[in-house]
A and B are shown apart, each in its own frame.
Chain A
Amino acid sequence: MPEQATSGAGAPTASGDVLRAPLVLEYPFRRTTGPVIGAYFTGLREGRFVGIEDESGNVICPPVEYDPVSGGSLTKLVPVGSEGEVTLWTWNSRLSEGQPFDHPFAWAFIKLDGADTPVFHAVDAAHDQMSVGMRVRARFADERRGEMTDLVCFEPIS
């Protein structure tokens, strides 16, 4: 039995006729990222972006391993800019654990210069700064480890 279930704070409690007990669900896998996703995270660690060219010549960023139409393997990594344009956005004031900020921010699709598909990330801006077509640049973490959180967010280019 988990230690938590026998200690005071996490013990089952009875509310009316309903028995309640704490439950922590985890899938603690570790994965290797491979030559395509790994290249993207290596780029983030170095403070830059890479995309991948698909069979029709479009640059997909973040890069994917397979062509979106044919399913063929993709290998041609290409550099992509660290600035770009907001194509879709919504405002997030329902903050929850694990999200990039503990203050309201925008979720957005951002098409980086040189890419044909957008990345999904947070834009740290005031609500009235947000618009489709606005220019933003990447803000990287000071200490980077080759993972998604190396990219803190995007911010408006004023």
Chain B
Amino acid sequence: MRDVAIISTAQSKHVRAASEVNEVELIQPVIQEAIERSGIGRHDFDFTCSGSSDYLAGQPFSFVMTLDAVAAWPPIAESHVEMDGAWALYEAWVKIQTGQADTALVYSYGKSSPGDLTRVLSRMMDSYYEAPLWPTSIDFAALQARAAIAAGVTSETEMAEIANRSRTSAGSNPLAQLTSSPSVEALLADEYLAEPLRKHDCPPITDGGVAVVLAADDKAREYCSRPAWIRGIDHRMDGHHITMRDLSVAPSIAIAAEKAGVGAGGFDVAELHACFTHQEPIIKAALGLGSDVDVNPSGGALSANPMMAAGLIRLAEVANRIHSGSVTRGVAHATGGHALQHNLVAVLEGEG
């Protein structure tokens, strides 16, 4: 296996609605910043891969237009996933492993604000049995929270504590959208949004994007003083039908974690793509993380949840901390689909 590292990252300021910019205008400065930080010339990338969703953009092949943001002339080797950018990073990592690229630019973005996001996300459901009823993403999250509480995985009090801790942590993240929280007691006094979820258990609706640069072996050492090496990365999926899963557990995370080498432990930090508060304990249990690991110091997806980017941001947040030298080893998790259906786990590590 080739050693591959994240050598630079950049994110937009995450906001409720970036109405004044289109997707190209939103992501172009982010890509520019990640490229400049990497030190690699903008025409010198061997591969470019992006993640976004036509359902959010409201038109087919919308990512082709966003290629204007990377200057695709002279022609570049390029690909796209209709998934969170964490899977675009995975594709780029595979491309580098094959030896067809030494460097890659990966970016993803989502404007979640136009339209009714929870209805748009209902189109991810099975089109015969579930989607015709128009349940929202929050409804499925609520059923999962109910299952997690019934199984003793979490409680409404712990969920409020997670909301409070995440948004308080985001106070030191200048790019986060929600950066403070009422007290746990005040949160628990709120009415249910979708029993047992209250508003604080749900992520904000966020427009934003992220870009990262990958490089292999000596290229990574040449351009970065402390690369965030990808020691292991894997993604797995649970079943198609939400009714056939035990929603209180996430078997696909456990398998991905095992394949990525999470079992070796020793993590200083974990960035987990828990869009809803109750998902954090489910993910932690599947990863086997102890209470000594700093979880979501960025504030996580509960503080900024740009669709299609919030998963790649988890990898970027761990990488940033390795680049700065504040941590040595971290685990990042990204998810797609409803109720933690599809999951990616990566172990990142700095040297020295």
Across the interface, do B243 and A119 meet the contact criterion of CB distance under 8 Å?
A: yes
Q: Which of B26-34, B127-135, B172-180, B310-318 contacts A (4 or more CB under 8 A)?
A: B127-135
Distance in Å from the Cβ of A90 to the closest Cβ of chain B?
Answer: 4
Across the interface, do A132 and B150 meet the contact criterion of CB distance under 8 Å?
A: yes
| A64 interface contact, C-beta 8 A | yes
Q: How far is the CA of A62 from the CA of B129 in the complex (A)?
A: 8
Distance in Å from the Cβ of A147 to the closest Cβ of chain B?
Answer: 7
| Residue from B20, B130, B142 within 8 A of A17 (CB atoms) | B20
Q: Which residues of A have CB within 8 Å of B243?
A: 62, 109, 117-120
Residue count of chain B within 8 Å CB distance of chain A: 37
Q: How far is the CA of A124 from the CA of B197 in the complex (A)?
A: 20
- The B111-144 residues at the A interface (CB cut-off 8 A) are 114, 116, 119, 127-130, 132-136, 138-139, 142-143
- B119, B195, B197: most-surrounded residue (chain A CB, <10 A): B195
| Residue from B116, B133, B138 within 8 A of A99 (CB atoms) | B133
Q: How far is the CA of A132 from the CA of B59 in the complex (A)?
A: 42
- The B1-36 residues at the A interface (CB cut-off 8 A) are 19-20
Q: How far is the CA of A120 from the CA of B66 in the complex (A)?
A: 38
Q: How far is the CA of A71 from the CA of B321 in the complex (A)?
A: 41
Q: How far is the CA of A60 from the CA of B241 in the complex (A)?
A: 11
A115-129 interface mask toward B, CB cutoff 8 Å, 1 = contact, 0 = none? 001111110000000
Across the interface, do A64 and B128 meet the contact criterion of CB distance under 8 Å?
A: no
Q: How far is the CA of A18 from the CA of B17 in the complex (A)?
A: 12
Across the interface, do A25 and B58 meet the contact criterion of CB distance under 8 Å?
A: yes
| B286 interface contact, C-beta 8 A | no
- B147, B196, B243: most-surrounded residue (chain A CB, <10 A): B243
A-B contact pairs, 8 of them (CB 8 A): A23-B114, A90-B196, A98-B132, A109-B143, A117-B241, A117-B243, A120-B130, A149-B132
